Amino acid sequence: MSTVTIDKSGPTRKVKYGSMSRDRTWALRWSYFFLTLFAIFSLTPPFYMLITSLKGSAEISAATNPWWVHQPTLENYVQLLTSNQFLRFFWNSAWVSIIVVTITMLISVPAAFALARMKFWGSATLATGVFLTYLIPDSLLFIPLFKMFAVFGDWTGIQLVNRWYVLLFIYPTLTVPFCTWIMIGYFASIPKELDEAAIIDGASWFQTLTRIFIPVALPGLIAATIFAFTVSWAQFLYPLVFTTSTDQLVLPVGIITTLIKGDVFNWGQIMTGALLGAAPPLIIYAFLMDYYIAGLTAGATKG
C-alpha cells in the first residue's frame, strides 16, 4: 500500500477571520445611509404638509419658521370635514375609484388569462399591443377623447362630459393595459401542467380561471387592484379636463379648483385636503404591502 504523507506546512496565506461579515457590515452601513437619504427626500413633502395643515392662516402668512408649529390648531380639519363640498369630492373619488377597480379587474383578469394561456392566432402580438397602449401618455389622449365624448353627446344626446361617471370610461384606458400586463406575467408563471390537470379533471376554461388561476394568482390580483385604485384615486389631468361643475369633481381637482380662488391660496386647507386625500391609498398600502411586493416580484423568481 502507499504511504500517507501528512502535509505539515499549513496554509501559506494568513486567514482573515470574519472578512465576510466585515464586508457585510459595510454593505449594511451604505444601504442604511442611502435609505435614510431617500426617506428624508421622500418624507419631507408630507411632513411639510402635516406642519402646514396644523397652522392657522395667520401663522402661515406670518414669517415664522415653516418647519415648526407655534400654535397648533385643528381648524383646517374641522372646516374641511364639515364642508359638504369636500365630502362630496371625497365620495366622488371613492365611487369612481371603486367602480373603476371593479371594471378593470373584470376586464383585465379574463383578458390576461386568455392572452397568457389560450394560445390563439396573434395572442402574443396582442399581449405586446396591450402594453404599448399603456405607454401613450394621457396628456396626448385627453384632447381626442374629449372630442369623442363631445361628438358622442351631439349625436346621441347622451351628455357624458362634465359628469363624474365619464371618468368610468376614461380611467380604464390607463388601468386595464397595465393590470392586464401584470396579470399576464403572473398567470404565465403558473406551471402549464396546472391548467392541463384542471382540464383533464373536467374544468372548463372559465372554471380553470375562477377555481384555479384566480386563487393561485391572488397576490398578483391584489397588486393589480392596488395599482388600479392608486391610479384612479390620484388621477388629475382627466378629471380636470372632463369635469367642471363643483358637484361632479373628484378630490384632487376639487381641492385646487375650490381652495385656490384667483391668486388667493388657502394653504392650510389645501395641505389638509391633500393629506386627507393621501390617507386611503396609504392605509391600503400599509395593509397589503406584502401582497403588493409578492405580486410585483413573483414572475421574476417563481419557476
Partner 1 sequence: MADVSLRKVVKRYDEVEAVRGIDLDIADHEFVVLVGPSGCGKSTTLRMIAGLEDISDGDIMIGGDVVNDVPPKDRDIAMVFQNYALYPHMTVAENMSFGLRLKNYPKAEIKSRVTEAARMLDITDLIDRKPKQLSGGQRQRVAMGRAIVRNPKVFLFDEPLSNLDAKLRVQMRIEIKKVHQKVRTTTVYVTHDQVEAMTLADRVVVMNHGRIEQIGTPNELYHKPATRFVASFIGSPAMNFVPCRLEDVGGKLNVRLTDRLAFALPPARAARYQALSRTDRLLLGIRPEHVMEARPHAEPGVEPFDAVLDVTEPMGMETLVYFTLEGSQVCGRVSPNAGAQDGSPLRLAVDLNNMHLLNEVTGAVL
Site residues for partner 1 per CB under 8 A: 191, 193-194, 196-204, 207, 211-212, 215-216, 218
- Determine whether 64 is exposed, middle or buried from the number of CB atoms within 10 Å of its CB (0-12, 13-18, 19+): middle
Report the nearest approach of partner 1 to the CB of residue 224 (Å): 18
Report the nearest approach of partner 1 to the CB of residue 277 (Å): 36
Q: Which of 203, 234 has the CB closer to partner 1?
A: 203
Report the nearest approach of partner 1 to the CB of residue 109 (Å): 16
Closest of 115, 292, 288 to residue 209, by C-alpha: 115
Q: Which of 188, 237 has the CB closer to partner 1?
A: 188
Q: Which of 214, 278 has the CB closer to partner 1?
A: 214
Report the nearest approach of partner 1 to the CB of residue 211 (Å): 8
Count of beta carbons in the 10 Å neighbourhood of residue 285: 13
Q: What are 57's three cell numbers? A: 392662516
Report the nearest approach of partner 1 to the CB of residue 99 (Å): 28
**β-pair type (264-265, 260-261):** antiparallel
Q: Which of 163, 211 has the CB closer to partner 1?
A: 211
Report the nearest approach of partner 1 to the CB of residue 256 (Å): 45
- Determine whether 59 is exposed, middle or buried from the number of CB atoms within 10 Å of its CB (0-12, 13-18, 19+): middle
Q: What are 192's three cell numbers? A: 402549464
Report the nearest approach of partner 1 to the CB of residue 217 (Å): 10
Q: What are 278's three cell numbers? A: 393621501
Q: Which of 218, 240 has the CB closer to partner 1?
A: 218
Rounded Cα distance between 287 and 243, Å, is: 32
Rounded Cα distance between 20 and 159, Å, is: 68
Distance between the two ends of the chain, CA-based, in angstroms? 51
Rounded Cα distance between 87 and 89, Å, is: 5
Q: Which of 199, 284 has the CB closer to partner 1?
A: 199
Q: Which of 61, 204 has the CB closer to partner 1?
A: 204
Q: Which of 92, 208 has the CB closer to partner 1?
A: 208
CB 219 within 8 Å of CB 295? yes
Place of cell 391600503: 284
CB 221 within 8 Å of CB 291? no
**What contacts 216, CB < 8 A, 6 or more positions away?**
190, 194
Report the nearest approach of partner 1 to the CB of residue 56 (Å): 54
